[in-house]
């Protein structure tokens, strides 16, 4: 399998395949889970910070943050809330790679979506999510016009923030390659490949393989499975040399039969067990920073 690592220097070789240590991209909150759906989803700033603290103790490489309004529990784009989350996380880890959501599912205006990118200094995010096309979910759409994608990418470039590229099907990967030819995106790239949404690539080996094959050179990737497919996609990624995106954002259940609600710690500990069985070590934040040409952390954040 062509793993999309391009010219990256890899750390291990087994049976002809090249492997990086395992990227664990932790997604604690998302936009959908509510307290009515599960008591385990972190909503407040302190809850999110504490869940990330637990995750760091278990072992993660990076975190993909969504902020919530603390009165309503609904998603928010407000930079002050993101800033408080980032400040809390960096009080106990100075090099964890931090990404913020710039989602178009709830917020339509560029000024709203780009607001978290305005944070600077010790509050500056390393990455900002960039979904590479519009997509339909079960009951709503995430609208990402070409102009919006370019505007967000340009804003990140100007502020020294790496796009966290999100692809729900192979066409979105092709669009990323197009944007690279136009100079809007610059390698090295990081991709979340999200499978299992009803209107996009399905969570099976064929869809995953096509998307991985089509990645541009100098790309790192993590597989995400939406809902019940999270465990399967994570397991495929671990076995095939990729990384995983894991957390309550994508799946609130521990088992496919939906008999047990998961906590974020439950999901992370299971990933560590699967990784150990596959002899995959967790990639450190410092190693990811070096590979993606990010600043070293500890007061220096974003692209080098």
What's the CA gap between 85 and 47, in Å, rounded?
A: 9
What's the CA gap between 18 and 109, in Å, rounded?
A: 42
- 38 C-beta neighbours (distance < 10 Å), count: 14
3-state secondary structure of 50: helix
Residue/partner pairs of 134-139 with CB below 8 Å, 24 or more apart: 134/104, 135/168, 135/169, 135/197, 135/199, 135/200, 136/198, 136/199, 137/105, 137/197, 137/198, 137/199, 138/198
Using the structure block, give the residue that is written with the tokens 């880890």: 93
Helix extents (H) in the chain: 45-58, 79-90, 110-113, 146-159, 170-181, 205-213, 230-240, 264-277, 285-291
Q: What is the DSSP letter of 71?
A: T
- 129 C-beta neighbours (distance < 10 Å), count: 23
Which domains are assigned to the chain?
12-291 (3.20.20.70)
Contact 272, 58 (CB under 8 A): yes
Contact 79, 119 (CB under 8 A): yes
Contact 35, 65 (CB under 8 A): no
What's the CA gap between 290 and 35, in Å, rounded?
A: 38
pTM of the prediction? 0.94
Q: What is the DSSP letter of 253?
A: B
The closest of 192, 123, 185, 188 to 156, measured between CA atoms, is 185
The helix or strand, by DSSP H or E, that contains position 13, with its residue range, turns out to be strand 12-14
The closest of 284, 295, 247, 237 to 19, measured between CA atoms, is 237
Q: What is the pLDDT of residue 141?
A: 82
pLDDT string in tens for the chain (304-residue length): 334 444 443 444 444 444 589 999 999 999 999 999 999 999 999 999 999 999 999 999 999 999 999 899 999 999 999 999 999 999 999 999 999 999 988 889 999 999 999 999 999 999 999 999 998 888 888 889 999 999 999 999 999 999 999 999 999 999 999 999 999 999 999 999 999 999 999 999 999 999 999 999 999 999 999 999 999 999 999 999 999 999 999 999 999 899 999 999 999 999 999 999 999 999 999 999 999 999 999 999 999 9
Residue 294: HSE in the Cβ half-sphere, 13 Å Cα cutoff: 31
Tokens of 287: 């190693």
Q: What is the pLDDT of residue 15?
A: 40
- Indicate the pairing of strand 135-136 with strand 141-142: antiparallel
Q: What is the pLDDT of residue 19?
A: 55
Q: What is the pLDDT of residue 17?
A: 41
3-state secondary structure of 281: coil
């Amino acid at each position: 399998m062509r793993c999309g690592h391009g010219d990256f220097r890899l750390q291990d070789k087994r049976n002809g395949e090249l492997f990086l240590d395992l990227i664990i991209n932790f997604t604690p909150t998302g936009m959908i889970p509510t307290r009515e759906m599960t008591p385990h989803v972190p909503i407040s700033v302190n809850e999110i910070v504490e869940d990330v603290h637990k995750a760091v103790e278990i072992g993660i490489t990076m975190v993909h943050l969504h902020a919530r309004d603390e009165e309503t529990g609904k998603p928010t784009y407000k930079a002050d809330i993101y800033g408080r989350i980032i400040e809390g996380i960096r009080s106990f880890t100075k090099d964890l790679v931090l990404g913020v959501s710039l989602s178009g599912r709830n917020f339509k205006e560029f000024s709203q979506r780009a607001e978290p990118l305005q944070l600077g200094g010790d509050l500056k995010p390393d990455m900002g999510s960039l979904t590479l096309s519009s997509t339909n979910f079960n009951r709503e759409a995430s609208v990402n016009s070409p102009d919006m994608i370019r505007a967000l990418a340009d804003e990140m470039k100007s502020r020294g923030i790496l796009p966290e590229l999100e692809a729900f099907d192979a066409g979105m990967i092709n669009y990323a390659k197009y944007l690279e030819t136009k100079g809007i995106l610059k390698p090295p790239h990081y991709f979340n490949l999200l499978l299992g949404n009803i209107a996009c690539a399905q969570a099976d080996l064929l869809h995953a393989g096509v998307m991985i094959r089509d990645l541009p050179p100098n790309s790192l990737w993590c597989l995400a499975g939406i809902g019940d497919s999270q465990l399967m996609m994570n397991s495929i990624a671990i076995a095939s040399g990729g990384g995983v995106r894991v957390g309550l954002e994508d799946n609130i259940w521990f088992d496919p039969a939906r008999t047990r609600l998961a906590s974020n710690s439950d999901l992370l500990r299971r990933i560590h067990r699967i990784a150990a069985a596959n002899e995959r070590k967790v990639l450190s934040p410092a190693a990811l920073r070096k590979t993606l040409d990010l600043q070293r952390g500890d007061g220096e954040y974003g692209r080098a």
